[in-house]
Amino acid sequence: MSNLADSSHPARPAVAWIGLGIMGSPMSENLIKAGYSVTGFTLEQDKLDRLAAAGGTAATSIAEAVKDADVIVTMVPASPHVEAIAYGPDGILENAKSGALLVDMSSITPQTSVDLAKAAKDKGIRVLDAPVSGGEAGAVEAVLSIMVGGEQADFDAAKPLLDALGKTIVLCGPHGSGQTVKAANQLIVAVNIQACAEAVVFLEKSGVDLKAALDVLNGGLAGSTVLTRKKDNFLNRDFKPGFRIDLHHKDMGIVTDAARNVGAALPVGAVVAQLVASLRTQGDGGLDHSALLRAVERLSGAQL
C-alpha cells in the first residue's frame, strides 16, 4: 500500500485552494494529510500562516496560487465572492492553465455555477459545483456530504480528492445541480434547527430535564444529524459559529428564490427564512445557526 502522506505521489494533482475560512482551512489541511501538494490563498495572513504550518504553501495572490495547479478548489461565502475570485485579469480563469479542473465548493446560486462553467469552458477550464454539508465538525473530521454538479468525467477525475474531504459524495446532475441540492439541504437544516429550538424552549418551560429529553428524542424518529451535532449548543447555549446565521440567511434567500422560479411552494421554509432574517437583524448574524434558539426564547419572553 502506498504512503498517503507522500506528497510526491505521481497520481496526486497539484492543488490550489482559494478561501481558508472556518470550512476551507480544515478541508485544505485534510488534503495535505492525504498527500496532496496544496498552495493556498486567502485575504487573512493568519490563515495563510496556518496553511503553511500544516505543510501547505502560502501564495501572495490568486494568480500565483493557480498558475501551476491541476485542480483549483474554491471555498468562499457567496456568489459575489466566487465572481470576484473567478473573473477579471487577476482571477482564476485568466491565470489557470488550460485543462485545469475548478471545483467550487462554495454555496452559491445555481445560476452563478452555470454561468461560471460556461465562462470557464471558453478558457479550456473544466468546472464542478460541489457544495458541502456537515459544518465545521464535518470539515475537520473529513465526513462532509458533497453534492456535485457537472460532467461525469470531471466528477470521476475529482472523486479521489473529494474522498479526502467527505464520506457521501454524489454527482447530482449537470452544472448547477449541486447548488440546487445544497439549497434543499439548507432548507431542511434550517427547519430542523427551528423545530429543535422550539422543542428546547417547550421542554425547559415544562420543567423537564433537557439533557435527558434530548437524549431520548434523538434515539427515536425525532432524531437527526442536526440534533446530534447541535445538542450541546442547545444545552450549553454555546453559539460559537460552526456555520453562521449570516451564511444561512444567504442560503435561505437562494432556496426561496430558486423555489419561486420553478413554482415550488415553501410555506414552512418561508417562515423559517424570515426567522433567520429576524435573528440577523437583532445582531446575532455572527453566531452559529443553532442560535435560532435565541429567537424562540425572545418570542417566549426571555430577556437576552
Q: Would you please indicate which residues are annotated as catalytic (active-site) residues?
A: 182
Integer angstrom CA distances of residue 156 from 54, 74, 126, 167: 27, 18, 12, 15
Q: Which three cell numbers stand for residue 133?
A: 454539508
Question: What are φ and ψ of residue 140, in 5° steps?
Answer: -65, -45
CA 130/CA 119 separation, integer angstroms: 17
- Secondary structure string (H, E, C) spanning the chain: CCCCCCCCCCCCCCEEEECCCCCHHHHHHHHHHCCCCEEEECCCHHHHHHHHHCCCEECCCHHHHHCCCCEEEECCCCHHHHHHHHCCCCCHHHHCCCCCEEEECCCCCHHHHHHHHHHHHCCCCEEEECCEECHHHHHHHCCEEEEEECCHHHHHHHHHHHHCCEEEEEEEECCCHHHHHHHHHHHHHHHHHHHHHHHHHHHHHCCCCHHHHHHHHCCCCCCCHHHHHHHHHHHHCCCCCCCEHHHHHHHHHHHHHHHHHHCCCCHHHHHHHHHHHHHHHHHHCCCEHHHHHHHHHHHCCCCC
